[in-house]
Amino acid sequence: MKLSIVIPVYNEAQTIHELIGKVVDADIPAGMSREIICVNDCSTDGTAARLDELPAAFPSAAFSIHHKPVNQGKGAALRDGFAKATGDLVLVQDADLEYDPQDYMKLLGPIVDGKADVVYGSRFIGEPHRVLYFYHYLANRFLTMLSNLFTNLNLTDMEVCYKVFRKSVLDQITLKCDRFGFEPEVTAKIAKIRPRLRIYEVGVAYYGRSYEEGKKITWRDGYRAVAAIIRFAFTN
């Protein structure tokens, strides 16, 4: 099998090389190959140059580097990355250091074992996590509960970055959200696929950033997520 790791990148010049080092070194199942697809969402801080250095810095890795001419958001960058993916499995990886690629084996396990079609990580089921914002925690729990209400799934962390899909699953849906609405949109759409997909959830470590350290999501994105949950509950 082949794994496509899709990384949307926006203004992460300080972290992208360290993150890619962790992605390259992360254990994956024996016999599985990996490609790393980086989509630069029109960064303004030197990220583009840092991305172009990656093939020389990590010569053993297979890279696909893409630079968007205008900034559109995480969802749009992921759409572009998914379109470029050639693997049997597709994993979403953020470009900061909030999530640990050493969790790849746990994320991939249910699919490799033939038990799952989609795997979500969860920051709320027992793995180490940095203590940060209580109101972010409440917002994440509320959004997950609201999403579950419409999808009839029992996820604990719909907004988590780490999601793994069989490529054949992604090929069945059309994604539209440009920003952080990707999370509720993709969740709503995989819940509608029939026959019903086998969706698993595994605990992942979370080393969240503060806003001073570069965290980008804001309360406005919470409102947009609510709108996306309701919108895609009733439309495709």
pLDDT at 214 over 60: no
Q: Distance of CA 71 to CAs 42, 93, 103, 178, 210, Å?
A: 5, 19, 29, 10, 23
Side chain identity at 99, as an amino acid letter? Y
Reported confidence tier of residue 134, pLDDT bands at 50, 70, 90: confident
pLDDT at 8 over 90: yes
CB 161 within 8 A of CB 94: yes
Reported confidence tier of residue 217, pLDDT bands at 50, 70, 90: low
pLDDT per position as a tens digit, 52-83: 999 999 999 999 999 999 999 999 999 999 99
What is the rounded average pLDDT of the residues 112-129?
91
**Domain architecture of the chain: domains with CATH:** 2-234 (3.90.550.10)
Reported confidence tier of residue 220, pLDDT bands at 50, 70, 90: confident
**Which helix (H) or strand (E) is 112 found in, with range?**
helix 104-112
pLDDT per position as a tens digit, 152-211: 999 999 999 999 999 999 999 999 999 889 999 999 999 999 999 999 999 999 997 665
Reported confidence tier of residue 91, pLDDT bands at 50, 70, 90: very high
pLDDT at 107 over 70: yes
Pairwise CA distance, residues 168 & 166, whole Å: 5
What is the reported pTM?
0.94
Q: Distance of CA 51 to CAs 1, 18, 109, 183, Å?
A: 26, 12, 29, 25
User: Three-state DSSP class for 216?
Assistant: coil
**What is residue 210's predicted lDDT score, i.e. its pLDDT?**
62
Beta strands, E only, the chain: 2-9, 33-40, 63-67, 89-92, 118-122, 163-166, 199-203
